[in-house]
Structure 1
Amino acid sequence: MPDDDPDPWTRTLREMKALSAELSEDGWDTLASPAGDTAAIPPDDDRRLDPGFAHVVPDDDADTFVEWFDPDGFERTRVFRAATPDRLFLLTVMLDEPSARAILITGAIDRSSLPPVRATAEETGVTRSHVLRVDGTHLGSFRHADPDPFFPE
């Protein structure tokens, strides 16, 4: 593909880098992490994790995440998405205004795995983003009170 018309994953990564730079210019500390793997977690699929999205981040990013994560922080979320018939590409931005820290995570998800996650989000009014290390260690989860931006029409 020509550079001026990149694929959705490349556009998602570019958007993450651009937004991270913009936030940094505005005085925020940012952690921008392209997940090595992202999966939709349906109800009852993984009893450790509530329904939502699980992102596996690289170890260097995981170390920073552990240092920054506050289960009561990061109350504001912004979501950007692109979709193909088979894949959903997400850029999820969690903002913690008191610490001026932003965590940006990108992920690509198989769209066929979304219906039970979406149904649960519509029923409960929330969805979650879980962050894990490559070895499966759960690092923390974010609760999103508005799940609609996570799902394509």
Structure 2
Amino acid sequence: MNDDARARDPRTERRRDPTGAQTEAWKQTLEDMDALARQRRDDGWDVLTVRAAQTDTVSRDTGDPDRFGLVHVVPDNDADEFAETYDEEAFTEYLAYGASIGGYVYLVTELIDPSAERSILIAGRYDLALARGMITAARDEGVLYTHCKTIDGTTLGSFEHEEYEPLLPDS
């Protein structure tokens, strides 16, 4: 594909963010996460905020058929604190806040340990054009997962969402 054809490809244009909508949506997502963190802290909770370096949608077709869902890459500067904070048995609830804008879902996922009043807020963005396999797997299995890992692939933790609709775009 030559440069002229690539420039006219709507997928390429969307990634370039010609209107600035993606930049603004990401900025708003981070502001929302910070506001949620402040609110929780004001209520006496311990809160960890993480800006995912990358969020991928993983279907059953991309390797391990039992590992599908959202995969957040946790930056190295947050990885140790995430690993020390997250306990799969204690974090039993979640909330999701987000919006679909320009073919992407901008999302803050809050993992909640209600008994210890702890929260982990993860800001991420995923491409709807790449999410079909993940959405199909979630609907087939009746569950969706959030996986957090480091850039080198080390798994930091996974969370099972039995009620996964808030993590998906409006259908």
Q: Do both share a fold (TM > 0.5)? A: yes
TM-score by length of 1: 0.91
Aligned to 2:40: 23
CA contact (8 A) 1:41 1:49 kept: no
Q: How many residues get paired?
A: 148
Whether 2:103 is the aligned partner of 1:86: answer: yes
Matches within 5 A, 1:1-153: 7-47=24-64, 50-153=67-170
CA contact (8 A) 1:55 1:132 kept: yes
Unaligned runs of 5+ in 1: 1-5
Shift of 1:125: 1.5
Q: Judging by fraction of residues, say which structure has more helix.
A: 2
Structure 1, residues 103-151: CA drift from partner, whole Å, max 9, x if none? 0001111111111111111121110110011222111101111111111
Call closer, same or farther: CA 1:22–1:49 in 2, change over 3 Å.
farther
Shift of 1:50: 1.3
Shift of 1:48: 8.3
Aligned to 1:3: none
TM-score by length of 2: 0.82
CA contact (8 A) 1:49 1:130 kept: no
Unaligned runs of 5+ in 2: 1-22
Call closer, same or farther: CA 1:99–1:46 in 2, change over 3 Å.
farther
Question: What is the one-letter code of the residue matched to 1:28?
Answer: W
SS of residue paired to 1:70:
coil
Q: Identity rate of aligned residues, in percent?
A: 34
CA RMSD in angstroms comes to: 1.5
